[in-house]
Structure 1
Amino acid sequence: MTAPPARRMRWLPGRWPADAAGRRNMALLVQLRWIAIAGQVATILFVHFAMDIRLPLPSMLVVPCIATAMNIGSLMVLRRRTDITHAELFLALLFDVFALTTQLYLSGGATNPFVSLYLVQVALGAVLLHRWSVWGIVAVSTLCTAMLAFVYRPLDLSETLEGHLFDLHIVGTWICITMIAVLLVLFMTRVTRNLQQREHYLAELRQQAVEEEHIVRMGLLASGAAHELGTPLAQLAVVLGDWRHMLEIKAHPALVEEVGEMEAAVKRCKTILTGILMSAGEARGEAPQVTNVRDFIDNIARDWRIANPGMPLRCDFGPHEYPRIIADPVIRQAVTNLLDNAREAGATYINMMVSRDSQWLHIAVRDNGRGFDAAMLADVGKPYRSSKGKQGGGLGLFLVVNVVRKLGGRVDASNGAEGGAMILLRLPLATLALEEANDDG
């Protein structure tokens, strides 16, 4: 038996990847560092020129330049990679601690009111880092603060400011506390938003796991039922074959016709069971069918018309070149489910429209039935959500949504402007196309 080519699985567009947390946190540190660079330069220039406190300008301006180079390097890393390690976040915060220590050493040490900015680094570490790393930031910040109490370059005050050092310290403390409050609010707001997005993403993953577990149980039940029904159907086929050759039956044309209808019904039941087993991956000795999109859709429409005589079904194909694909039975069953749903919703005609673009194959099923109400549109793809009002309904669309999601696609539902409903399947050509599949395999 020929094994089917390997398929590429992917997340739905717009999903928030779990490994993006480190990258987003590093981006926040880069933004805060830009704020710190601007604040340092403005403060240094204001204090030196406006307040006439003589600072070592060349040495102090070197630190913002190094921080700028650090930010540019961090941005280049963020563009090339999708994740940032915990160690890299720790080193980035450690760099900010040493940069702050250097500036404080050059501007009065522990007597500088801006020494309280160490608390910002500790707060960032408490949110972003693991326990051992947080205590590392605490230890380094504490040691640096202690060192600055003994080793620092004193401020060179002008004669007019000599007697107002305490007043300057009070004003500086007020400015420092205001800066700490503003920075923490800005940062914590962004972190909270990131955490909310992550929780939403994890909630979706949990919901998807529950739905997939539900599908597994349904698949096992359907597979078991298919095996159990296979034997009695085979017996019925044998009995009907014997009846067809009985003289008593041959003598009555009406009975011959009824036996033929019964044989056709049994054959259809066996075809349905075969499809169930193939969808469950239990077919034996059959190679995957390779065809083109147009023939694949036409075959689905032909079989559905035979099973539903008198129900108009129209197929429209866009003016595109369609690739050869692997005709997966689960896709056939998904499209058939959509056609059955449209018929059961009271439609008097159904239109199936097929088109494509560079990445996606679009299969739309549109009808003139009752359409979806607002609550149904909000819960499309949820189990047991049905507009037909039947107990146990809604599983057909539920299975369609999950089959398409497994293939890396998506399902959109809407109501037509003149009534009726439309279901649009978007299937990735990278998953279906024979050429793409062979390349991946």
Structure 2
Amino acid sequence: MSQPDLGLLEEGQRSNFIRLRTLIILRWVAIVGQLTAISVARQLYDLQLELGLCYLAVGVSVVGNLIAMFIYPEDKRLSEAENFLMVMFDLLQLCLLLFLTGGLHNPFSLLVLAPATVSATVLSLRSTVLINATAVALITCMVFVYMPLSTQDGTIFGLPDVFIFGQWTALVIALLFISVYARRTTNEMNAMSDALVATQMALARAQKLSDLGGVVAAAAHELGTPLATIKLASAELIEDLDEFPEMQEDARLIRAQADRCRDILHGMGRAGKDDLHMRHAPLSEVLREAAEPHENRGKTLTMEFAPLPGGGPQPQVFRRPDILHGLRNLVQNAVDFARTQVWIDASWDDRRIVVRIRDDGPGFPPHLIGRLGDPFLRRRRSDPGRNARPGYEGMGLGLFIAKTLLERSGAELSFANGAEEGEGTEGAPNGAIVELTWPVAKVVATVAPNTPLGENPLIET
């Protein structure tokens, strides 16, 4: 079963989500803040600053913003390279201003963290490393080379060397920590967002197929009567046109084409009648339908159905696309990793329905048991089970889709390995085990199985 294509959501294209207008607004805020700080330092504290050079540094940002505003449209999306250059420019401009105003003696030196945080959030790993390396190099230079802050009477403001060393150490550690923290958090959010998009795509596709099947079945049902009328009328014409062979041949052609339309609609109706007439089905049939695409893939599928103590007859459960698609993903995962056999067991009572999907494969990687169901998990390169399925990079997205869809239907999922439960004998299901538990009220149809569904609605044109 193919998974939704998420090629447009790859990490390298995340920067394309940022508008130039957003960075321009942020830069205007920074420019106003820089001008305010320079003015306050000069007027209120009488600091002797190189105002010409300071205003030149700020003016470069102003010119850059004006050029970007007049040359590019407001809705322009920046590429990876353009975003990198914008962030690098802001970092260099800020460090130049810090160099002119005391270096690390300036309390505003902590603003160096801002470009690093932005790069860790929206840029690739390579760009983030380059931004952080540049920031560390520049603040290291400013430990030794800077223009000191002084008043008109010659008093120089500065921190003791031990505090400067502490400031440098704190900035370097903060750069690394905040970058790693922001990047990991952003990657987690992006992965979850992408996986949710994939889940919605999978569910929407399954729902469309279900709706299409219902339309096809309804069309086959409604067109059956006019086609039968055409066939009857053509048969009468054949009998009445014995003296007109050419017209009789046309009537035979009409009957033959009516038969052909009947056969086509009959085949189409078989593909869609279940979605129209069976909104619910026995639990065993729903599980068989979910497993059907994987029955001829070289593995043996064994199904067992039995009530729990005190359980009644087999329940009628809803045949919803989310339930079928989620179960199908779990069965696919079991078949992919099984050596020879997959077991699907179902049991029930008056309160719950329990389904277990087991296989005789290597089982789930132990280091991932607690994280199964998270999107985009990856196997370790040293994992010995990695070669069991060549070209398979991870199982996070498929299990995430299955877990999300089934939990939406009210199920609780748990993952384990058979060997951990004492099922390690030869030929036993000692591989991966997935157990689903539904409350009866969530998935069992309240309508009796023999209750008529009513006539099919007419298809309006």
Q: TM-score range by the shorter chain?
A: 0.3 to 0.5
Q: Which has the higher contact order (CA 8 A, sep 6+)?
A: 1
Q: What TM-score do you get using the length of structure 2 for normalisation? A: 0.39
